[in-house]
Structure 1
């Protein structure tokens, strides 16, 4: 396993360089390996999302160990080359270019939506399969891409319906000023009127905001009785919820609903988020045998260094296993064969239950609603059942880039 980060140039210069000289010849994947495979795994190991990145890396490492213990891929080892995107799209682009030049067989990545948009042209140019090991807003359809995590269109409407049952109707939205935050806020605003909600205000803040008192004042003065939080990053959630709790805002609202406060981040926030709700396909408190096996294996491998997994990190575990299954089914690491096989395999050992990707490049997921406890953990309070993602890709993408 190799770890590197490249940060020498600004994002704009990196984009210009990529467009001017290209990142790799199309036929990077033309020759299949006879044994084994190498995956480029990119996540945030520094910056404001580093806690989630580290949790994702642990899940990926565990999955690689399991795959190799079961015989590996094509009779050889599955290996990771790991890159740190530093929670920055410009750095991510440079890391992906380096990995593509080293001819990795696939990318598995857990990055922000902004980074995803920046880096996927690298995989397209080099015709390398890419599996997005993350939950995101949906809608990204490319010949080389699959998404192993949930998407917001699977859960926003049923989640709002649940929150409405708590007797509140006036919403204020606070979110991170990023692609995902604004897109998800638009989904909430679109779904709210049919459910009897009124949107009274919204506020978007940059990453690493430390003083949320102006935002808290706006929420309180708006008259909202429902807060929908789409804040990303551990520092932002810690700052907001602790300030909202100490100011009395949390206690004055009827309902607080989260769209991004996963188990990993909640542990850092602690009791400040007590009583708030989260909607997700995965919670560590799931008592299923598959989840307990997964958590026990993480603990055995990482001991006291184990990071609590959540919806933004657990998909790395599924993604590695899905890729290994696809390579073995295809009998090759060649791109089009692997991409086609990804729509045909099922990973039965996921902590969430069986995971099957489709030619539409997404997957159905069981969706749950959980409430934060005093201890900084979640307790599942309702199951929404398996939620099919609305069709995202029309037409469905080809299996790999068209030949030039």
Structure 2
């Protein structure tokens, strides 16, 4: 017992000495850690995207969002955006407008409040047009990759741009194609009463009459109609050479099916809202009655088109629907304008937009004084063997 008592103080003293030595060794490491500066958080530029992410055309909205997200991810992976000697990361804020004008304005205001400097969107003309005033009031650039109603850029807003052709051009090409290539003499027209569908149908009707076609029926549905039997029964009696539909693929698929079921032999003619793989899926064995247009170049015919489609498929595991290449290019157009502005300032970015001269996946992008793309293209397609087959491009 006495021996243990004598040894204990020595052991304790040794332990204390060892602990002290350990502390002396830790001190330089702690000092080095204290000297190392904490990594500064990357500064962020916020860009918005708005499209329907729920509802009947959510597949088109998600397609547009995917295109924008692919561009943002590429820019960030390449060390971000250098503006005025500083590096920034882009952040994409995505909102769902449900293809509803009221929801579109709510989404626009939410993005403005979140501090975005620009927005890619909206998908639909009916949401893009009312939202454009909110962006204009906030000095936020809006670039639509797919809204084609001419009214979007006729409001005089310096913040509004689009990277696709408008429906004055698209409607004229459709009507001319019906007259000259389809050799139609009579046409029936149906639209979904949206800003896009009705606007496009109005242009087709006007130009068709100018080309000498007889409009044997003009009928109206909604953007949620899937039962067209009553409308088609009336049209069947008129035996038109062509039925033109102003609307989207979600409703055009059932329309095509019902045309076949009722024994209507007319060809179906439609705009870009219908010219998608989703239409083919929905229409089934009736899909081959469709001839349709896209308000831009055929991506597969462009130098970077196949590369884009491959990148898109690799990242998202699905194929391009319609306008993801245009939302992709819209992000790069905005990024280039921010760089030209030389600072992250909304007014400076707006001022830089008219000087856009960018060659992207969809071709050369320049804007006229209204914000419309210069030298816009309209491409025609037909459905053959379950796929969209390219026909021609007009300017």
Q: Does 1:221 align with 2:237?
A: yes
1:350-396 C-alpha deviation (Å, 9 max, x unpaired): 2x222222332011223221111231x21112232xx2xxxxxxxxx
The Cα of 1:67 is off from its aligned counterpart by: 2.0
- 2:367 counterpart of 1:357: yes
Q: Does the C-alpha gap of structure 1 residues 84 and 296 become closer, same or farther in structure 2, counting only changes over 3 Å?
A: same
Q: Helix, strand or coil for the counterpart of 1:207?
A: coil
- Alpha-carbon distance change, 62 to 326 in structure 1, aligned in 2, over 3 angstroms: same
Offset at residue 293 of structure 1 (A): 0.7
Structure 2: 5+ residue runs without aligned partners? 1-41
Counterparts of 2:231 and 2:357, CA distance in 1: 45
- The secondary structure found in structure 1 opposite 2:237 is helix
Are residues 298 and 267 of structure 1, via their aligned partners in 2, closer, same or farther at CA, if it must alter by over 3 Å? farther
Q: CA deviation at 1:287?
A: 4.1
Match of 2:276 in 1: 263
Q: What is aligned with 2:23?
A: none
User: Could you say which structure has the greater relative contact order, defined with CA pairs below 8 angstroms and 6 or more residues apart?
Assistant: 1
Aligned residue number for residue 73 of structure 2: 65
Matches within 5 A, 1:96-245: 96-141=108-153, 142-165=157-180, 166-232=182-248, 234-245=249-260
Deviations 1:192-251 (A, max 9, x none): 22211111111111122121111111111123111111122x4312211111122222xx
| SS in structure 1 of the partner of residue 377 of structure 2 | strand
Corresponding residue number in structure 1 for 2:288: 274
User: Matched residue of 1:286: which SS?
Assistant: helix
The answer as to whether partners of 1:170 and 1:200 remain within 8 angstroms in 2 is yes
Alpha-carbon shift at residue 307 of structure 1 (Å): 4.3
C-alpha distance in 2 between matches for 1:256 and 1:64 = 37
SS of match in other structure, 1:143 = coil
- What SS does structure 2 have at the residue aligned with 1:216? helix
Matched, 1:378 2:391: no
Q: 1:318 to 1:43 in 2, by over 3 A?
A: same
Distance in 2, matches of 1:267 and 1:72, equals: 39
The runs of 4+ residues in structure 1 deviating greater than 6 Å are none
Query: How far 1:92 moved relative to its partner?
Result: 2.1
* Aligned partners of 1:51 and 1:264 also within 8 Å: no
Aligned: 1:293 with 2:307: yes
Larger C-alpha radius of gyration, 1 or 2?
A: 2
Question: Residues 299 and 120 (structure 1 numbering): CA distance in 2 closer, same or farther, change over 3 Å?
Answer: same
Higher fraction of helix: 2
- Give the 3-state SS of the residue equivalent to 1:68 in structure 2: helix
- Do the aligned partners of 2:201 and 2:245 also contact (CA within 8 Å) in 1? no
C-alpha deviation, 1:159, in angstroms: 2.9
Contact 1:278 1:369 in 2 (8 A): yes
- Unaligned segments of structure 1, at least 5 residues: 1-33, 388-404
1:74-93 matches, within 5 Å, as 74=83, 75-93=87-105
Q: Between 109-118 and 291-300, report the one with greater CA deviation.
A: 109-118
- Whether the aligned pair in 1 keeps the contact of 2:219 and 2:231 (CA below 8 Å) is yes
1:183 & 1:45 partners in 2: Cα distance? Answer: 23
Q: CA contact under 8 A between 1:54 and 1:307: conserved in structure 2?
A: no
Aligned residue number for residue 45 of structure 2: 37
Deviation, 1:167, is 2.1
Deviations 1:9-38 (A, max 9, x none): xxxxxxxxxxxxxxxxxxxxxxxxx95411
> Cα RMSD over matched residues?
2.1
TM-score normalised by structure 2 residue count: 0.81
Q: Residues 210 and 236 of structure 1 are in contact (CA less than 8 Å); yes or no, is this contact kept in structure 2? A: yes
Alpha-carbon distance in 2 for matches of 1:268, 1:282: 23
Please tell me whether residue 345 in structure 1 is matched to residue 356 in structure 2: yes
The alpha-carbon deviation at position 342 of structure 1 amounts to: 1.9
Aligned length: 343
C-alpha contact 1:171 1:225 (8 A) present in aligned 2: yes
